[in-house]
Amino acid sequence: MMTSAEAALRIEGLKGEIERHNRLYYQEARQEISDQAFDVLLRELIELEEAHPDLVTADSPTQKVGGAPIEGFTQVRHAVPMMSLDNTYSEAELEAFFQRVQKGLGREVVECVVEPKVDGVAISIRYEGGVLKHAVTRGDGQVGDDVTMNVRTIKSLPLRLPAGVPQTFEVRGEVFMPKAGFAKMNEERDEAGEARFANPRNATAGTLKQLDSRIAAKRPLDVVFYGLADAGDAEVGAHSEVLELLGKAGLRKADLVWRAETAEALVLAIRELDEKRKALPYETDGAVIKVNAFGDQRELGATSKAPRWAIAYKYQPEQAETQVLAVDIQVGRTGALTPVARLEPVFLSGSTVGNATLHNFEEIERKDIRVGDWVVIEKAGEIIPAVVMVKKERRTGEERVIVPPVCCPVCGTEAKKDEELVVLRCPNPDCPEVVKRRLEHYVSRGAMDIRGLGEQVVGQLVDAGLVRDAADLYQLDELSLARLERQGAKSIENLVKALRESREQAPWRLVFGLGILHVGVTAARTLLEFFGSIDQLAAAEVEDLLKCEDVGVVVAASVHAWFREERNVALLERLRAAGLTFEQRKVAAASEVFAGTTWVITGTLSRPREEMAEAIRSHGGKVSGSVSAKTTYLLAGEEAGSKLEKARKLGVEVLDESGFWGKVGEGEKGIKTDLFG
């Protein structure tokens, strides 16, 4: 048994790790670990909190659903919270769930409904007067993002309900991309020289986050519904009746549905679904089991997070055995040398897998992976092929130990060990592969956002000797671009236009796009807000950089070193000559009411966090990401966590939205700001 102090330490570690994965999954549509591995972390946290109830806090992942709303959209509070489901990977636990239901209702026979668990993005859609009113994402379960304009583009979704069904109700479902549509979209992106999407769920999440609904309209979104949040005047008393109503309303429902009245029947249903789900037009990762009758559901009730009358059964990640044929080295934009296993092709989770990342050479040594080994692989979260284990009993003695490279495989430069990050690097900035990766980062949407310069086009430009660095991009013209393959007149015209427009991008985007080690988007914005221009930033000494809030020793040293390399100084001068923006745009402050103050924002607010931050800046204040003794105010919304606790300990004044607008002045609420310029 852990002591209370040991448990407190472990709980804090688990909370941080779980929240990080939640943020990646819900806000960034990325996934580093499988669902099963995530559930193991969450289960451990639940068990520790049950054993030490005095350590349960309001900000624990066990006390909430999902992640924070995406910044940039209007937020809508759900009339009925969008709860998550408890889940299991075990048939025995599924049977135990059914026994709890029997005990709770006091009878043996309980009808349940079994449906596929669609691997998409949860959505709540409301109709009023027969017309689609709004579509809202799950968000944190209480407040979601209004993505109505993007959802309206779904071709299968009726914007008006047919006669003969209730005209006001709210439905819950999953937005997804069909397998066939996703494959076709990736083919089109290949032809356009754009990066492929990793999987349908990521592509769906990214599409719903688009601020321009015209982009969403070009993508193959679809939606399937599974329930009602508000039945309106519909007379429905069971989930099976809801499915009938959805069909009458022209709303797509599950393609496969089972009814079961015993634990044995439930197990047979999930096994049959597992056999049939690969033929479904969308990705699935499990089954959802619900007690059918609404009266039974009300009697069983719910915990603070999940209903007691439903559970999700997750299928074990599909695994396959294959052989490691070779190990190649990929070269990244920072020169990082990443080992990749080339495998005997094997069919796994709906696609043929021919390679898997090995992360780094310490990981290879830890798992003792060798060329020639038979290994078990799975797709982590059904996304990234990963080596789970080595079948050492199948070794013949012919296997070869994987030796870290002495030189870069592309340019032959001696590799250097980065002790801090446990990675080997090619230190040659002119390595063709480093140049390609660096340029791909520079033109990416989060950096300079130069549309049309995808991986294939960048590769052609470098291979043809037309481009060696970012400044060379601005020397391109119609004649030089015409030398590239599969570039028609319209594509060339659009690319030249995109390059011209990128000259007006905010200077923080340029700093981020330059790929300075350890400098991400947030650091780039913070640095430019503090120094005001790239020239001032370039001239700063380490001690000056450390005065910038949220910039530590590692970032300061990296920035200082980058701006003192001759080749980087020359690159900046060429970018200046090309007409790029080096000065932070001066926006006239609406007032100086917050002059000299530093704010931190936390919790769920009625407006996107970035909009509140811009309101603070527009009145002369500064915004920081962390609470410290320098913090003047903490603007706290609902479900404020550790930042609120720290602010109270430091004596920082805490304001809710009402208090914030009270300081601004009621007449300033309508301020319009350029949020993303």
Let me know if residue 133 belongs to a domain.
yes
**Is there a contact between 82 and 41 (Cβ–Cβ < 8 Å)?**
no
Does residue 109 share a domain with residue 246? yes
Q: How confident is the model at residue 39 (pLDDT cuts 50, 70, 90)?
A: confident
Per-residue pLDDT of 226-262, as tens digits, reads 999 888 888 899 999 999 999 899 899 998 999 999 9
Q: Provide mean pLDDT across the span 564-583.
A: 96
Give the whole-angstrom CA distance, residue 470 versus residue 493. 19
pLDDT of residue 74: 85
Let me know if residue 563 belongs to a domain.
yes
Q: Provide mean pLDDT across the span 276-301.
A: 93
User: Which domain-ending residue is among 486, 502, 518?
Assistant: 502
Does residue 234 share a domain with residue 109? yes
Does residue 646 share a domain with residue 512? no
What is the sign of the dihedral through the CA atoms of 168, 170, 174 and 177?
positive
The CA-based angle 217-221-224, given to 5 degrees, is: 140
Q: Provide mean pLDDT across the span 467-475.
A: 96
Query: Can you name the residues that pair with 258 across neighbouring β-strands?
Result: 114
- The model carries a pTM of 0.53
Higher-confidence position of 17 and 94: 94
User: Which domain-ending residue is among 314, 337, 361?
Assistant: 314
List, as one string, the DSSP characters of 237-292: -BHHHHHHHHHHTT--B-S--EEESSHHHHHHHHHHHHHHGGGSSS-EEEEEEEES
Does residue 655 share a domain with residue 606? yes
Let me know if residue 171 belongs to a domain.
yes
Residue at token pair 């284990």: 389
Give the whole-angstrom CA distance, residue 657 versus residue 603. 11
Let me know if residue 584 belongs to a domain.
no
**Model confidence at 669: pLDDT above 50:** no
Does residue 496 share a domain with residue 567? no
Strands 374-380 and 384-390: antiparallel
Domain with 261, as residue range(s), is: 87-314
**Is there a contact between 379 and 316 (Cβ–Cβ < 8 Å)?**
no
Q: Provide mean pLDDT across the span 150-162.
A: 88
**Is there a contact between 649 and 643 (Cβ–Cβ < 8 Å)?**
no
List, as one string, the DSSP characters of 572-639: HHHHHHTT---BPPP---S--TTTT-EEEEESB-SS-HHHHHHHHHHTT-EEESS--TT--EEEE-BT
Per-residue pLDDT of 338-353, as tens digits, reads 899 999 998 776 667 8
Check if 248 is active-site. no
Task: Read off the amino acid at residue 132.
Answer: L
pLDDT of residue 58: 64
Per-residue pLDDT of 92-126, as tens digits, reads 999 999 999 999 999 999 999 999 999 899 999 99
Does residue 307 share a domain with residue 172? yes
List, as one string, the DSSP characters of 66-119: S-PPPTTS-EEE-SS------EES-HHHHHHHHHHHHHHHT-S---EEEEEEE-
Contacts with 251 (C-beta within 8 Å, 6 or more apart), sequence order: 157, 158, 171, 173, 225
For the sheet containing 653-655, what is the strand order? 622-624, 598-602, 633-636, 653-655
Q: Which two tokens stand for residue 393?
A: 């009993």
**Is there a contact between 468 and 436 (Cβ–Cβ < 8 Å)?**
no
User: Which domain-ending residue is among 471, 502, 533?
Assistant: 502
Find the DSSP H helices in 346-431.
361-367
Burial 447-463 (b: 16+ CB within 10 A, else e): bbebbbbbbbbbbbbbe
Give the whole-angstrom CA distance, residue 663 versus residue 656. 11
Does residue 331 share a domain with residue 208? no
Residue at token pair 């624990």: 60
CATH code, domain with 465: 1.10.150.20
Does residue 228 share a domain with residue 188? yes
pLDDT of residue 382: 46
The number of angstroms, rounded, from the C-alpha of 620 to the middle of its chain's C-alpha atoms is 32
Per-residue pLDDT of 189-235, as tens digits, reads 766 656 677 678 888 988 888 877 888 888 999 999 999 988 888 88
CATH code, domain with 331: 2.40.50.140
Give the whole-angstrom CA distance, residue 420 versus residue 553. 13
Q: Provide mean pLDDT across the span 364-385.
A: 82
Let me know if residue 34 belongs to a domain.
yes
CATH code, domain with 662: 3.40.50.10190
Does residue 290 share a domain with residue 146? yes
Give the whole-angstrom CA distance, residue 440 versus residue 321. 34
Q: Provide mean pLDDT across the span 123-140.
A: 91
Contacts with 43 (C-beta within 8 Å, 6 or more apart), sequence order: none
Does residue 245 share a domain with residue 104? yes
Does residue 362 share a domain with residue 261? no
Report the percent of the chain where pLDDT is more than 70: 90
Give the whole-angstrom CA distance, residue 507 versus residue 514. 11
Task: Read off the amino acid at residue 119.
Answer: D
The number of angstroms, rounded, from the C-alpha of 607 to the middle of its chain's C-alpha atoms is 20
Let me know if residue 254 belongs to a domain.
yes
Catalytic site residue from 15, 117, 209, 643: 117
535 membership: H or E segment, kind and range: helix 534-539
Residues for the chain: how many in total? 677
Residue 298 CB burial class (10 angstroms; 0-12, 13-18, ≥19): exposed
Q: Provide mean pLDDT across the span 619-644.
A: 81
Reduced to 3 states (helix: H, G, I; strand: E, B; else coil), residue 314 is: strand
CATH code, domain with 20: 1.10.287.610
**Model confidence at 458: pLDDT above 70:** yes
Let me know if residue 543 belongs to a domain.
yes
Let me know if residue 583 belongs to a domain.
no
Does residue 309 share a domain with residue 180? yes
Count structural domains, the chain.
Answer: 6
Strands 87-88 and 222-230: unpaired
